[in-house]
A = this chain, B = another copy of it.
Amino acid sequence: MNVYIIGIGLIGGSMSLDIQVTYPEAIIHGIDVSDAHLEEALQRQLIHQKATLQNVENADIVIVTIPVHASIKIIDEVLHTVKDDALVIDAGSTKEQICKSIAAHPKRRNFLAAHPIAGTEFSGPSAAIQRLFEGKTNIICEVEKTAFSLQEKALELFKNLGMRIRYMDPKSHDKHIAYVSHLSHISSFMLGKTVIEKEKNERDIFDLAGSGFASTVRLAKSSPAMWTPIFEQNKTNVIETLDEYISNLQEFKNLMLQDNFEGIYKEMENTNYIKKILKGLE
């Protein structure tokens, strides 16, 4: 089995590690805009050999794990190149634009739109880890538009990676993921910014930071190259979440200005409900 991974970073590299275990016969070909990444991926045994986009004509499976704006162009090209029975999967954090862009593609049935909810704040080949996807959710969009035999092939792969499957339409995916993922990244980046700006001349202040701060600001280490196109593609939904978040923060501030600490207490008490939601998530 010839597997081509386009973009050998955290997601593509981690998938490769598991595929090598569950499909020992698979030959993993790596494609990346960065030759340094490819060399590193070879050294780390994330891939067996380097390849180019033309080579995907030999692919049984192509996994596209690159920033979402690049995906749109590459997936169109890859679909044109692959064999009739090849499966092409993406792993992007936005699904509406990619699904729209290949809706009328003659090879639409070779593509399966996926979003594995897995990752860390790190990126690049060095971030790849084994069993990253174990127990995680994989959202599949427009499954009915993928050829039935290729659906089966993909589901077997995801099962071997240890993932739970959820089906969703691309519009709903982008709307909900803005709340449970994209907004968290912005809140974390802006928290990091606020503290850095304030404390830039007092470096040892960070001695005072504890694990709570570290946890809340962890996502501010994420890759701008990956996240900028996500925010761009999901602009409308993300702005909606930001409006609501800012308005909740302003309301909290107003309660403080009014010395309404009973109100502050209630706000926090109501939000403690998140404990139930998070059960099993950590």
**Contact across chains for B221 and A205 when beta carbons are under 8 A apart:** no
**Contact across chains for A219 and B214 when beta carbons are under 8 A apart:** no
| In the complex, chain A residues 164-203 whose Cβ is within 8 Å of any chain B Cβ | 164, 166, 173, 176-177, 179-181, 183-199, 202
Instruction: Report the nearest B residue to A121, measured CB to CB.
Output: B212
**Contact across chains for B231 and A189 when beta carbons are under 8 A apart:** no
**Contact across chains for B246 and A246 when beta carbons are under 8 A apart:** yes
Q: A184: which of B179, B181, B213 is its contact (CB, 8 Å)?
A: B213
Interface of A is mostly: helix
**Contact across chains for B243 and A253 when beta carbons are under 8 A apart:** yes
A218, B261: Cα distance in complex, Å? 22
- Give per-residue flags for A230-253: 1 if the beta carbon is below 8 A from chain B beta carbons, else 0: 011001001101111110111011
**Contact across chains for B184 and A212 when beta carbons are under 8 A apart:** yes
Q: Does A106 sit within 8 A of B, measured CB to CB?
A: no
A229, B243: Cα distance in complex, Å? 28
Which residues of A does B touch, CB under 8 Å?
Answer: 117-121, 136-137, 139, 164, 166, 173, 176-177, 179-181, 183-199, 202, 205-222, 224-225, 227-229, 231-232, 235, 238-239, 241-246, 248-250, 252-253, 256-257, 259, 261, 264-275, 277-278, 281-282
